[in-house]
Structure 1
Amino acid sequence: MLEHIRLTYGQEEEDFFFEQIHRSQPFSRNNHHHSTFEIYYLLSGQRRYFIKDRTFDVHAGDLVFIDRHDVHKTSDLGPPGHERIVMNFSEIFLTGGVEHPLVPPAIFEVFRGGGHLLRLRPDERNFYQSLLDKLSREIAHQEPGWNSYVRLLLVELLLYAARQTERNDAAAMESVHPVHKKVAEVVQHINGHYGEPLELTAIAAAFYMSPSYLSRSFRKVTGFTLMEYIHFTRIHAAQKLLRDTGLKVIDVASAVGFENIGHFDRIFKRITKMTPKAYRNLNA
């Protein structure tokens, strides 16, 4: 039986979401991404975490920071069963949509770059555990002013983490499994060459893998088929061009690797649930 605390707060896409849950059975989450920041704290057990283009082995007491829109997926590492806390929040949840003296932009740097994972010393773990316990109590009881206190605790957590990231060697915590390292290289290749023709057989040959082995390994590690990930990466890049430039839709499609505008329209709508033109109008 699952025992957990769960709260979704706000009108936009999960302005603030908090969940603490214990699982005793094997569990693997499919890939997903969202427009909010995410903090993941593992209380017990072990997990494997694919984030953007890297795979980390996460142990009890580790903190994971995931930037907005970064693809991520968790899976079992070692014996099944784990307990974790997940928080998602939007920037507007902390700032109210205005520049706020208590929320310096630097605190969001903990989500960016190649860090992602913060391995805590025992004294640091006690500090973070205390903050998370306070967050849990505020959310469980929801006394007057609880949401303001949650914001303050979250800012404190982020400020403390931002100070520690410089001494953190996240590379040393990446998975050493050869398949995970090879898939990470393939993902990095796609991220850097999505505007060019990308085919399974050519990618497999470039990385000295058979097409079938690459397909199986890629899906197991990332949760995507290879083509799904190529489409996702291209559409993500197209969204940025539609938001930030005045390029015609046909030129956006070409820039991100689609040779056929009809194919681009279909894939864009499948992933975003709207047409490229509607997306541009919404984000004008």
Structure 2
Amino acid sequence: MSETVSLTYGSEEGDFYMHHIKRTELFERNNHFHGTYEIYYLLSGQRNYFIKDRSYLISPGDLVFINKYDVHKTSDVGEPGHERIVINFSDKFIDKDQPLFHPSLFNVFDLPAHVLSLKLQEQLFTQTLMDKMDKELKEKAAGYETYIKLLLVELLLFSSRYAERNEAAPFEHASPLHRKISEIVQYINSNYALTMTLTGMSEQFFMSPYYMSRTFKEITGFTFIEYVNMTRIREAQLLLRESGRKIIDIADAVGFENIAHFGRMFKKLTKLTPHEYRKLQRQS
């Protein structure tokens, strides 16, 4: 068997989700983003993790924190096979009106580097917390949902304090090519509403279209057009949630010249039409 699932609880876009899996073969996660916070803990193997606008080499004992709506994707590095635990939770799960809430809980999601490389003692502590979560979610004893919140709050507080005590080393790109691709991604993130083509961007950043296409995919895990479309749809979601603008105007504002193409791409990436997405957000 190529993978062994130890635990699956909830759904990625739900209030709380936890998934523990061990894989022995090559695996590449589809490009995605979601409206929940994500904590990723690698137990074994190595992964390349592209988050927002740069890529990281993730090793066992690394805790990764991904903010809501940040684009991310994992892919293999070296030998196939890895084991990891993923936790997703919504704003509702630890709401600011709840007694457990404290603003510092969310500091780790604003870390410049997204990654905490834990020392052995802290790895053991983190593993113990996650083992307790695993046990509670499997046994579902009375009050287990409350205990899960307590454990999650403990993990977030521990992580925030660890980040404060252990100042991260300045982020260094793996190579000048990684830096170049990061610059291209940052340009897309800031200028998604403009017309963008592979040829035009390759000229702007002094690369051949073929070389840029190949290295962009190699470093980010996305094709150039996948990343552009995903960035535009993510911004469209923001406008659908937070404004009353017409859908046709939103499509134009995020860079889609054709409303039908916008609709198809939105449904492909979110499984909902723009109208369905807006309606669902207003009901929640």
TM-score bucket of the superposed structures, by smaller chain: 0.7 to 0.9
Residue 175 of structure 1 deviates from its aligned partner by 5.0
Cα 1:141/1:268, change in 2 over 3 Å: closer
Q: Distance in 2 between matches of 1:90 and 1:213?
A: 39
> Could you tell me how far 1:101 is from its partner in structure 2?
2.1
Aligned counterpart for 1:190 among listed residues 188, 206, 210 = 188
- Structure 2 segments unaligned to the other structure (5+ residues): none
Change (3 A) 1:261 1:85: closer
Q: Which stretch has the larger CA shift, 108-117 or 205-214?
A: 108-117
What's the CA shift string for 1:120-169, capped at 9, x where partnerless? 12222222122122222223333322222111111100011112323442
Give the letter for the 1:162 counterpart: S
Instruction: Give the structure 1 partner of residue 4 of structure 2.
Output: 3
Distance 1:195 1:75, change over 3 A: same
Which residue pairs with 1:30 in the alignment? 30
> 190-199 vs 255-264, which deviates more?
255-264
SS in 2 for 1:208: coil
AA aligned opposite 1:8: Y
Asked if residue 70 in structure 1 is aligned to residue 70 in structure 2, the reply is yes
The question of whether the paired residues in 2 share the 8 Å contact of 1:14 and 1:90 is answered with yes
Distance 1:191 1:113, change over 3 A: farther
Partner Cα distance (1:168, 1:283) in 2 = 38
Matched position secondary structure for 1:64: strand
Q: What is the alpha-carbon root mean square deviation over aligned residues? A: 2.4
Partners in 1 of 2:65 and 2:127 — Cα distance? 16
Q: After the TM superposition, which residues 86-101 of structure 1 pair with which residues of structure 2 at under 5 Å, given as runs?
A: 86-95=86-95, 99-101=97-99
Compute the TM-score of the two structures, normalised by the length of structure 2. Answer: 0.87
Normalised to the residue count of structure 1, the TM-score between the two structures is 0.87
- Which runs of 5 or more structure 1 residues have no equivalent in the other structure? none
The answer (yes or no) to whether the contact 2:47–2:58 under 8 Å persists in 1 is yes
Match of 1:132 in 2: 130
Structure 2 counterparts to residues 52-63 of structure 1, below 5 A: 52-63=52-63
2:154 is matched with which residue? 156
User: Is the alpha carbon distance of 1:243 and 1:138 closer, same or farther for their aligned partners in structure 2, counting shifts above 3 Å?
Assistant: closer
Could you say if the C-alpha distance between residues 283 and 19 of structure 1 is closer, same or farther in structure 2, counting changes exceeding 3 Å?
closer
What is aligned with 1:271?
A: 269
Aligned match of 1:110: 108
| Contact 2:9/2:137 (<8 A) preserved | no
> What is the percent sequence identity of the aligned residues?
51
Cα distance, 1:79–1:277 mapped onto 2, change above 3 Å: closer
